């Protein structure tokens, strides 16, 4: 059988089955001829089954990626008069209030999970998301007015990604929110941890201000535990959300690691982002190879070195808050000598592949399979070298240190980027002993009714993880404040596409059911005919798709600034230039709409009985493009076999 538009790619063929195969896609387990189809027909008819796409299933915030990609490409058209960009923005921010920021800095686990990887390469989800977010900022889009006032008040401790996201969702539910933040501006690690050339401050401020404009009260320079007590929060508010993050880096836990010029990566990045740290001196060693380490070394190469720095201006004194670098001295900067020291092979580094490749291109030296053993101090107690030993890893992941082969690496600053924890001064009762907080699956703080938590305070991870935590916690808080039992979470816990919402915005929603006995529900107007929603339990994996249908089309990439070791000094240019409208639409069109109809007409074309037809234009909505007449259907399975997106499941018996 030949399918329109198909292109044979490596590993893909136009044949759905191999010689001798007997089971078609979605068929019952067993022999195709004996148990399912006899003389070209069977009693098993098609159902349109909605599943969660793998990109969304891989996203910690449960982003409805397929949903807004369908809008960008023109499949899901707005029922109103607003531009498609606004329609896409409204869909995107149902799960993530930071599309412009996340489009830039998220390492995109959604792209790792994208089924398009089995054709040629992932859809450029981040790039399209950035386009949507940037368009919304440029056109001054705001969030809808808050929901009806519930009369309840929530204290949000921490104004970073988790806290701001919690405020965003809680205001939609009508709850009053007050953010308490110990620093002089909002943003948390988005502003103090991520360098400004990766997240332009006007972009970050724009997306933060949209949330505050929903009526969120903000109290800066207010630390819970010293300026205000937990007891006062519990007295004045109905619920507390903790989004305090993990703002302290872990010290270097080897002998000599207490030297003053051994600092942690979080303090280093904060000093840089606050404008205090403007240059370094001598060789900088960064221990670790995660995303924080990549930011540390990228900054080090950009701010460079100055020779013969006075003692008071040593980098560690700036990082520890004892002084601030003078802007005048910046003119003397020279290229920095920056090394990454990592105990595993660099191929095992947790850092995003692109970030790792970028810092290497920018002149950072990578020294892997080396275990730090000791910090060697000079007569003044400062680190002058790092003693390391080669390591060998076996197949089981065990590390063997070759201590007798150790050697010293000279340095003037050592930055530890090997982990984070929170600062629980004044709120020690919430510390689980590891500098973090314990929570249940609904993000309630263990043994603290009325307290919820999300983000790095639970486990340091991605910004998108913090967004996902805050979203679920906000639902839990809403139930708690309304005196309702906290709901069980679905197996596939994401912001699901809802066909009913699509129908409602087009005034196509089903009529009310009188719950009386009736026949002929396929023509009744109180039911959604021939549709089953399994998105809460199933993910549309690539083996449910007909991948050979899709042409091989390489990703349309954002233009990247050519930053190398020769021009990295003082270069704070944003690495990527966003996609144009034309390119964003073209890239979104590469989405395979896994688990939902892509409106390709294949089932209509190949049905031998003309049992499948397009719904009338007036009844069309995303997910309701075709219908089946069971009086004509012979159960031949051809529609399921040619469906490229895995939307058709054979499984309904008709008698």
pLDDT tens sequence across 242-292: 999 999 998 899 999 999 999 999 999 999 999 999 999 999 999 999 999
Q: What local confidence, expressed as pLDDT, does residue 21 receive?
A: 60
Q: What local confidence, expressed as pLDDT, does residue 5 receive?
A: 42
Provide mean pLDDT across the span 51-76.
96
Is the pLDDT assigned to residue 571 strictly greater than 90? Answer: yes
Q: What local confidence, expressed as pLDDT, does residue 16 receive?
A: 62
Confidence label for 18 from pLDDT (cuts 50, 70 and 90)? low
Of 120, 123, 117, 128, which is closest to residue 541 (Cα–Cα)? 117
Task: Give, for 155, the enclosing helix (H) or strand (E).
Answer: strand 153-157
Q: What local confidence, expressed as pLDDT, does residue 644 receive?
A: 95
Number of other residues whose CB lies within 10 A of the CB of residue 192: 20
pLDDT tens sequence across 480-502: 999 999 888 999 999 999 998 88
Is the pLDDT assigned to residue 229 strictly greater than 80? Answer: yes
Which is higher by pLDDT, 568 or 308?
Answer: 568
Residues 6+ apart with CB under 8 A from 143: 93, 97, 168, 172, 210, 211, 213, 214
Q: Is the pTM of this model over 0.95?
A: no
Report helix, strand or coil for 133: helix
Whole-angstrom distance, CA of residue 187 vs CA of residue 189:
6
Provide Rg for the chain, Cα atoms. Answer: 28
Is the pLDDT assigned to residue 23 strictly greater than 60? Answer: no
Q: What local confidence, expressed as pLDDT, does residue 29 receive?
A: 41
Provide mean pLDDT across the span 322-338.
86
Provide mean pLDDT across the span 105-128.
96
CB 324 within 8 A of CB 314: no
Q: What local confidence, expressed as pLDDT, does residue 22 receive?
A: 54
Whole-angstrom distance, CA of residue 443 vs CA of residue 476:
8
Is the pLDDT assigned to residue 508 strictly greater than 90? Answer: no
CB 486 within 8 A of CB 476: yes
**What ranges do the domains of the chain cover?**
1-51+498-534+596-655, 153-248+422-481, 249-417
Among the residue ranges 67-71, 79-83, 444-448, the one predicted with the least confidence is 79-83
249-417: CATH, from 3.20.20.140, 1.10.340.30, 3.50.50.60, 1.20.1440.130: 3.50.50.60
pLDDT tens sequence across 521-545: 767 788 787 889 999 999 999 998 9
Is the pLDDT assigned to residue 27 strictly greater than 60? Answer: no
In the block, residue with structure tokens 């590469």: 590
Whole-angstrom distance, CA of residue 649 vs CA of residue 487:
30
CB 628 within 8 A of CB 612: yes
Report helix, strand or coil for 386: strand
pLDDT tens sequence across 385-437: 999 999 999 888 889 999 999 999 999 999 999 989 999 999 999 999 999 99
Provide mean pLDDT across the span 55-78.
95
CA 136 and chain centroid, separation:
19
pLDDT tens sequence across 596-625: 999 999 999 999 999 999 999 998 999 999
Confidence label for 326 from pLDDT (cuts 50, 70 and 90)? confident
Fold: same for 153-248+422-481 and 249-417: yes
Q: What percent of the chain has pLDDT over 90?
A: 78
Is the pLDDT assigned to residue 15 strictly greater than 70? Answer: no
Q: What local confidence, expressed as pLDDT, does residue 34 receive?
A: 44
**Cα within 13 Å of Cα(546), Cβ side:** 30
Confidence label for 26 from pLDDT (cuts 50, 70 and 90)? very low
Report helix, strand or coil for 240: strand
Indicate the average pLDDT of the chain: 91
Whole-angstrom distance, CA of residue 455 vs CA of residue 43:
51
Confidence label for 37 from pLDDT (cuts 50, 70 and 90)? low
Backbone torsion region of residue 30, taken as left when φ is above 0, otherwise alpha when ψ lies between -120 and 50, otherwise beta: left
153-248+422-481: CATH, from 3.40.50.300, 3.30.9.10, 3.30.70.20, 3.50.50.60: 3.50.50.60
Whole-angstrom distance, CA of residue 335 vs CA of residue 312:
22
CB 281 within 8 A of CB 315: yes
CB 427 within 8 A of CB 406: no
Task: Give, for 356, the enclosing helix (H) or strand (E).
Answer: helix 353-361
Q: What local confidence, expressed as pLDDT, does residue 540 receive?
A: 95
Provide mean pLDDT across the span 454-468.
95
Which is higher by pLDDT, 201 or 8?
Answer: 201
pLDDT tens sequence across 85-94: 999 999 999 9
Longest dimension (CA), the chain: 92
Helices 125-138, 581-588: axis angle to 10 degrees equals 140
Is the pLDDT assigned to residue 519 strictly greater than 50? Answer: yes
């Amino acid at each position: 059988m030949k399918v329109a538009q198909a292109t044979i790619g490596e590993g893909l063929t136009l044949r759905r089955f191999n010689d001798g195969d007997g089971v078609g896609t979605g068929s019952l387990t067993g022999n195709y001829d004996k148990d399912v189809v006899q003389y070209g027909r069977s009693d098993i008819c098609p159902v349109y089954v909605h599943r969660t796409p793998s990109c969304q299933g891989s996203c910690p915030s449960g982003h409805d990626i397929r949903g807004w990609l369908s809008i960008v490409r023109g499949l899901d058209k707005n029922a109103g008069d607003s531009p498609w960009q606004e329609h896409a923005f409204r869909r995107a921010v149902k799960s993530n209030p930071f599309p412009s920021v996340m489009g830039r800095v998220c390492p995109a686990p959604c792209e790792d999970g994208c089924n398009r990887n089995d054709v040629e390469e992932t859809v450029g989800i981040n790039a399209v998301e950035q386009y949507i977010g940037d368009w919304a900022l440029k056109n001054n889009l705001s969030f809808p007015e808050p929901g009806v006032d519930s009369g309840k008040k929530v204290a949000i401790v921490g104004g970073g990604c988790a806290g701001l996201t919690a405020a965003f969702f809680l205001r939609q539910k009508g709850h009053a929110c007050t953010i308490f933040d110990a620093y002089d501006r909002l943003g948390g690690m988005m502003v103090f941890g991520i360098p400004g050339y990766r997240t332009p401050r006007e972009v970050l401020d724009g997306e933060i201000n949209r949330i505050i404009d929903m009526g969120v009260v903000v109290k800066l320079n207010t630390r819970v535990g010293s300026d205000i007590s937990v007891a006062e929060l519990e007295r004045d508010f109905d619920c507390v959300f903790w989004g305090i993050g993990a703002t302290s880096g872990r010290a270097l836990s080897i002998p000599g690691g207490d030297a003053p010029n051994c600092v942690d990566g979080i303090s280093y990045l904060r000093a840089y982002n606050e404008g205090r740290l403007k240059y370094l001196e001598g060789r900088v060693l960064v221990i670790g190879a995660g995303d924080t380490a990549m930011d540390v070394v990228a900054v080090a190469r950009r701010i460079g070195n100055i020779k013969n720095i006075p003692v008071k201006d040593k980098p560690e004194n700036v990082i520890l808050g004892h002084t601030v670098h003078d802007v005048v001295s910046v003119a003397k900067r020279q290229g920095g000598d920056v090394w990454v020291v990592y105990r595993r092979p660099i191929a095992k580094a947790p850092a995003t592949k692109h970030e790792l490749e970028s810092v290497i291109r920018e002149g950072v030296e990578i020294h892997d399979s080396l275990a730090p053993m000791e910090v060697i101090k000079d007569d003044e107690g400062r680190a002058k070298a790092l003693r390391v030993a080669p390591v060998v890893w076996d197949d089981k992941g065990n590390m063997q240190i070759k201590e007798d082969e150790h050697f010293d690496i000279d340095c003037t600053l050592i930055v530890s980027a090997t982990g984070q924890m929170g600062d629980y001064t004044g709120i020690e009762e919430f510390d689980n002993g590891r500098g973090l907080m314990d929570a249940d699956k609904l993000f309630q703080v263990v043994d603290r009714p009325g307290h919820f938590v999300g983000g790095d305070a639970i486990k340091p991870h991605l910004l998108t993880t913090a967004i996902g935590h805050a979203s679920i916690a906000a639902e839990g808080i809403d139930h708690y404040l309304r005196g309702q039992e906290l709901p069980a979470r679905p197996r596939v816990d994401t912001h699901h596409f809802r066909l009913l919402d699509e129908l409602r915005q087009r005034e196509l929603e089903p009529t009310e059911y009188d719950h009386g006995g009736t026949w002929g529900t396929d023509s009744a107007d109180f039911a959604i005919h021939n549709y089953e929603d399994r998105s809460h339990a199933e993910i549309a994996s690539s083996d449910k798709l007909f991948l050979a249908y899709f042409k091989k089309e390489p990703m349309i990439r954002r233009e990247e600034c050519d930053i190398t070791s020769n021009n990295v000094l003082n270069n704070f240019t944003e690495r990527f230039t966003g996609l144009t409208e034309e390119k964003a639409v073209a890239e979104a069109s590469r989405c395979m709409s896994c688990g939902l109809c892509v409106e390709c007409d294949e089932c209509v074309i190949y049905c031998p009985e003309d049992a499948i037809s397009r719904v009338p234009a007036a009844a069309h909505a995303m997910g309701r493009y075709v219908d089946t007449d069971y009086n004509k259907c012979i159960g031949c399975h051809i529609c399921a076999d040619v469906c490229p997106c895995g939307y058709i499941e054979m499984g309904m018996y008709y008698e």
